[in-house]
Amino acid sequence: MNILIKSAKIVSPENSALHLKKRDVFIKKGIIEKIAASIDDIPSGTKIIEHKNLHASIGWLDTSVSFGEPGHEERETIQNGLQVAAKSGFTNVVLNPTTTPVPDTSSDIVFLIERAKGNGTQLHPLGSLSKNSKGVDLAELFDMHNAGAVGFYDFKSQITNPNLLKIALLYAQSFDGLICSFPEDIQIKGKGVVNEGEMSTSLGLKGIPGLAEELQISRDLFILEYTGGKLHIPTISTANSVKLIAAAKRKGLDVSCSVAIHNLLITDDTLSDFDTSFKVSPPLRTKQDAKALIKGLKDGTIDFVTTDHTPLDIEEKRLEFDNAHAGTIGLESAFGSLNPVFGLEETVGLLTKGWERFNIEKPKIETGSPACFTLFEPYEEWYFTEKDIKSTSRNSMFLDAPQKGRVIGTISNNTLTL
């Protein structure tokens, strides 16, 4: 397939020759063949992409996405999930080990990669850190790494045994593996379902104190300092967590962290109606926490954002708040939610971070390179509604939220998705 991107403003801060310049880009069979101010001599049958206020950047990466297949196909299949990601601007996603059974062997990783082939969005699976994600015995980390796993994670589960984390960090150094540890102490959390504070008290809901997150992070950082290795702490949510990670980075520890978009933009004030769409893990925190998280992103303490896209069936959400499952979808609303807060260039910067941490090759906008573009229009103001949801599941906390900017599509893997 031949494609001509016509008069697109390129957003590429690392490439000063192209950054914020309008260019035509000709793509032949998935490879960038020419970049110029104007390209008119093109083969017949070329697909021309033109759009008012058309912008283009390298493809976006989401480092925490869940689907359902195998085991929970009613939530989201791999095929549909990757289509949702592509239409939302993401050319690459890191897939959480949330399936049944969890991927804890090399054959499980191979299955996921094979199921994802032929799509515009590339899937990069995380393997389970422990067998069956039970937190008892290490899974086959080295074999999964060789099969294509980009890291190891017991999704949303505390590593209760500190020795397991110690062994994992030591062992993974032999192949430069990335260990992920969810920041939550389940004994401190107890039966909590929302942030502990004024809102939990007024609603009569059991609270999860920030201490549950911060205590786990403190423990994990002490172990990392002892062992060395590479540790990633996904989806932090409190101001004190930002301080702990900043201090660890100043010590030179090899630690990274992410934050979910909803924890940046939405606070526990929204819980007054007991709407289970707003039940997530970690929980929505306070305005002070959200401000600290945004500051942490801006100063580089927090390494990247994620949608933490978690599709759930309606039966898992239409329950009493205590019993409903935690999670929200977020791929479709990511760009339009971030853009009004951070602005065009910073938003694109946030959505294109994380490649090196997960050992994924970062795309380039230069002739001879594989075409990997996200196409978008950054100025249109609109509201996110049910019709904008492309996921099989509908559990979005961003319904009726104002958005600025729309994704037009992606070009990746010699595939155009509009």
Residue 324 has phi, psi (to 5 degrees) of -65, 150
Contacts of 272 (CB under 8 A, 6+ apart): 199, 202, 203
Cα–Cα distance list, 272 to 202, 232, 279, 352 (Å): 9, 33, 12, 35
Helix (H) / strand (E) element for 259: namely strand 255-260
Contacts of 291 (CB under 8 A, 6+ apart): 239
How crowded is the C-beta side of 95, counted as CA atoms within 13 Å? 32
Distance, CA of 337 to CA of 402 (rounded, Å): 7
24 is catalytic: no
Contacts of 313 (CB under 8 A, 6+ apart): 72, 74, 75, 393
3-state secondary structure 210-245: HHHHHHHHHHHHHHHHHHCCEEEECCCCCHHHHHHH
Find the DSSP H helices in 88-185.
Answer: 106-116, 141-147, 162-172
Catalytic residue among 268, 299, 308, 400: 308
Answer whether 412's CB lies under 8 Å from 418's CB: no
Counted residue by residue, the chain has a size of: 418
* Amino acid sitting at position 201: T
* Amino acid sitting at position 401: A
Q: Which residues pair with 58 in a beta bridge?
A: 373
Answer whether 289's CB lies under 8 Å from 238's CB: yes
Contacts of 230 (CB under 8 A, 6+ apart): 169, 172, 173, 176, 177, 178, 179, 254, 256
Distance from chain centroid for Cα 157? 17
Catalytic residues: 308
